[in-house]
Amino acid sequence: MSEDIEKKLETIPKAIFFDEKEDRFFILDQTKLPVEEVIEEQKDLNQVYDSIYMLKVRGAPAIGIAGAYGLLISLKEHIDKPLDEFIKIVEQNAEYLNSSRPTAVNLSWALNKLSKIAKNFPKSSSSKELYKAIRDEAIAIHKSDIKTCREIGENGAELIKEGFGVLTLCNAGALATGGIGTALAPMYVAWSKGVRFKAYSSETRPLLQGARITCWELNKFGVDTTMIADSVSSYLMKLGKVDMIVVGADRVANNGDTANKIGTLSLAVNAKHYGIPFYIACPYSTIDVDTKTGDGIVVEERGAQELIYIKGQQIAPKDIKVFNPAFDVTDNSLISGFITEKGIIRAPYDFSKSAKSE
């Protein structure tokens, strides 16, 4: 990994920061971007739940890391309790945090890893020892994601050629992960190696993560970036300005059906029509081999307020009926391949042969 990438990414505040000396957990409040850069300490379980639900921290890998640290800080006040009682608190708090964003598998993946440690911990040990074991694993999850993002970047960069137009949706960059991102990681690596291309960022309604966050990130890194309205993407493809599309994922079923930010399915269908490669960039932890197809993915539906209001400004009748799914599920037949830390995986997809459910 080029040091140039790391230096440039230092201009982008980290989505998550954990102070290992004092066990304090901080997030960048992404709802304030790009106008303000607000760092907020997370001090209790309910605050972490709200931060995840309200999208102050978002992106499947980052949500998983936040869930791990959130569970950890929720346990600090209980370390003097008997081990059996402490383990029950671990399980209860993990279950509560997991309900904040049901579609993103990394959250349940991370919380299950920590709950499994508690469940299998030696009964002769103390709550303080279990706390330390959970702490060590939470930090390990964070560090592992940093490494994984770098590997995704290196593996995907080979797909981006000089002069390409690369379209993305939502934000799957540094602010969606613990590292340099998933979908944006190949762009960062390719750009740092001197490959010059044009990035197109769809604004991603209703919460505008593509406009507010991806454009902000790519601009800070120096990538040639153009923002488009969501409804422009198919016309951009027809004009021949898009050579590939790369997006992230919140959950991948065993057969390759993929849940990602709403609007992803439309991009994939249009890409198929125009013969444009459509890639998913994600870590293996986003693959849920226990969910056989996309039909088994629970799609989160969010409140009407997100559509009726934009930044506090009412744009529709208050009493209008609203259907507001946060994600859609893209059929595996529309996906050209998965860019992972293990390489680029192409059809036919059956992740149970190589991925283990943890």
Catalytic residue among 250, 257, 288, 328: 250
- Encode pLDDT of 212-223 as tens digits: 999 999 999 999
Where are the CATH 3.40.50.10470 domain residues in the chain?
153-353
The architecture of the domain spanning 153-353 is 3-Layer(aba) Sandwich (3.40)
Q: Euclidean distance between the first and final Cα of the chain, in Å?
A: 28
Average pLDDT of span 272-294:
96
CATH code reported for the domain at 3-149: 1.20.120.420
CATH 1.20.120.420 domain position(s) in the chain: 3-149
Q: Look up tokens 């197809």; give the residue.
A: 293
Query: How far, in Å, CA of 302 to CA of 289, rounded?
Result: 26
Q: Are 256 and 340 in contact (CB under 8 A)?
A: no
Q: Which residues, 6 or more positions from 323, have their beta carbon under 8 angstroms from its beta carbon?
A: 301
* Half-sphere exposure in the Cβ direction for 108 (13 Å, CA): 15
User: What is the rounded average pLDDT of the residues 226-248?
Assistant: 98
Q: Is 136 among the catalytic positions?
A: no
Do residues 213 and 175 touch, judged by C-beta distance below 8 A? yes
Cα(16)–Cα(30) distance, integer angstroms: 11
pLDDT tens, 47-102? 999 999 999 999 999 999 999 999 999 999 999 999 999 999 999 999 999 999 98
Confidence of residue 2 (pLDDT cuts 50, 70, 90): low
**Separation between Cα atoms, residue 276 and residue 166, nearest integer Å:** 10
Q: Structure tokens of 303?
A: 């409140």
pLDDT in tens, 106-132: 999 999 999 999 999 999 999 999 999
Peptide bond into 317 cis (omega under 30): no
251-253 β-sheet, strand order? 287-288, 251-253, 258-261, 327-330
CB contact at 8 A, 67 and 110: yes
CB contact set of 132 (below 8 Å; sequence gap of 6+):
none
In the numeric block, which tokens belong to residue 323?
A: 């259907």
Residue 208 DSSP symbol: T
* Pair 196, 162: CB distance under 8 Å: yes
CA-CA-CA-CA dihedral for 109, 115, 120, 123, to nearest 10: 170
- Edge-to-edge strand list for the sheet holding 165-168: 225-228, 198-202, 165-168, 244-247, 278-281, 337-340, 343-345
Residue found by looking up tokens 């790519």 in the block: 218
